[in-house]
Amino acid sequence: MSSRGSQKRKTEPVESSPKEQTPEQQDDAMKILTSLAGVGKATAQKLISQGYTNLEIIAVTPPKILEVECQLSPALAEKIVQQAREHVGLDFISARDMLQIRKNVKRLTTGSKALDDLLGGGIETQAITEFYGEYRVGKTQICFTLATTVQLPEEKGGLNGKCLFIDTEGTFRPERIIPIAQRFGLDPDDALSRIIVARVFSTSQQMEVAKIARKLIKKENIRLIIVDSLTALFRSEYVGIDQLAIRQQQLNVHIHDLARLAWAFNLAVVVTNQVMANPGAFFGPQMSAIGGHIVAHHVTHRLHLRKAKGDKRIARVEDSPYLPESEVVFRIAYDGIRDAEEDLEEETSTQE
């Protein structure tokens, strides 16, 4: 059997249908949706079948997308979205009310206190955090640690949920999760079972998994979505200057899908990104992130990673709505991301 056929079997659990939801979840979604004017059971079932199970995700979805995906009339799609926006308060609100809403944002530890402090307390929900840099700077290692720490209770820096890991480069290694889980007091087998991996091979599959995620988030209690890496497949499929506009359009759609999931379900989205050289740059950065202005404008926090001595790495906040431009040093250890000067005794005992 071909590897593509074998992969299809492996990714089938990700392609979950709404029938896999519990009867209680289906009933709750049905009650919420049929409370909207003009939405009967048949229309509600169309919405549920596409993963539109709460008003938040409907409120942030363009009516045109709802119309196409759920096979609704333009007028009905517009009416449903408008009502959802009114219910969740997406009209005009005061900055004071927005501050109260921001208190719902949660934080996820990276495993390094210094890196958490750089991020204002950790990876935040309702946002997209991007880590970019050249190879071997720790992008995937940060993802491994986050995929584990998200399972911790909130009082220990986690989100008490699962991780959806979208692997576009074939770099996910379950063996790496074992020592990280042991470090944080988690059973390795349980930790592995709470990471849902989607190995994707094309941009269309990558974008489709993000849409399918709507159906999984509540059922599986997904609190973190990782895309490692965001641009690798777009970079390989859309080659040449004549394909650049199409690539950027598709990337734009994908990033907006991820942003809607982050806001509607109060989860964290972490993406990694590759770099390209700027051979003509005599001054300023010699490397820049792939994706151009589309990615730069639409990720919430952008961090640049670069190598330091030995196992140490430097993370710098390059862009953020409120985080200052600053940098810290962390290191890549056997059991995940740690502070640069952290005592090695605990790490050594974990390896033993």
pLDDT tens digit string along 81-94? 999 999 988 878 89
Measure the CA–CA gap between 211 and 208, rounded to whole angstroms.
Answer: 5
Higher per-residue confidence, 267 vs 348: 267
Q: Domain 19-88, what architecture?
A: Orthogonal Bundle (1.10)
- What is the structure's pLDDT at 28? 86
For 69, the token pair is: 């995906």
- Rg (alpha carbons) of the chain, rounded to whole number: 21
- What is the structure's pLDDT at 343? 59
Q: Which residues is 226 bridged to in the sheet? A: 165, 270
Look at residue 113 and tell me whether its pLDDT is greater than 80. yes
Q: What is the pLDDT of residues 40-96, one digit of tens each?
A: 999 999 999 999 999 999 999 999 999 999 999 999 999 999 999 999 888 788 999
Look at residue 213 and tell me whether its pLDDT is greater than 50. yes
Measure the CA–CA gap between 133 and 57, rounded to whole angstroms.
Answer: 32
- What is the structure's pLDDT at 279? 58
Q: What is the pLDDT of residues 228-242, one digit of tens each?
A: 999 999 999 999 899
- What is the structure's pLDDT at 20? 55
- Could you state, in order of their start, the residue ranges of all structural domains in the chain? 19-88, 105-351
Look at residue 111 and tell me whether its pLDDT is greater than 70. yes
Higher per-residue confidence, 205 vs 286: 205
Question: CATH fold of 105-351, please?
Answer: Rossmann fold (3.40.50)
CA 299: distance to chain centroid?
11
- What is the structure's pLDDT at 3? 43
What residue ranges in the chain does DSSP mark as E strands? Answer: 107-108, 123-124, 127-132, 162-167, 195-199, 222-228, 268-273, 275-277, 287-289, 301-307, 312-319, 327-333, 336-339
Q: What is the pLDDT of residues 121-165, one digit of tens each?
A: 999 999 999 999 999 999 999 999 999 999 999 999 999 999 999
**Among 33, 39, 34, residue whose Cα is nearest residue 75:** 39
- What is the structure's pLDDT at 341? 86
- CB neighbours of 338 closer than 8 A, spacing ≥ 6? 111, 112, 330, 331, 347
- What is the structure's pLDDT at 342? 76
The residue-averaged pLDDT of 246-263 equals 96
- What is the structure's pLDDT at 2? 43
**Among 123, 47, 112, 57, residue whose Cα is nearest residue 84:** 57
Q: What is the pLDDT of residues 295-335, one digit of tens each?
A: 999 999 999 999 999 999 999 999 999 999 999 999 999 99
Look at residue 349 and tell me whether its pLDDT is greater than 60. no
Q: Which residues is 276 bridged to in the sheet? A: 288
How much of the chain exceeds pLDDT 90, in percent? 80
Look at residue 344 and tell me whether its pLDDT is greater than 60. no
Measure the CA–CA gap between 124 and 303, rounded to whole angstroms.
Answer: 14
- What is the structure's pLDDT at 65? 95
Please say whether the beta carbons of 133 and 275 come within 8 A: yes
Look at residue 260 and tell me whether its pLDDT is greater than 90. yes
pTM: 0.89
- Of the listed ranges 30-39, 129-138, 271-280, the one predicted with least confidence: 271-280
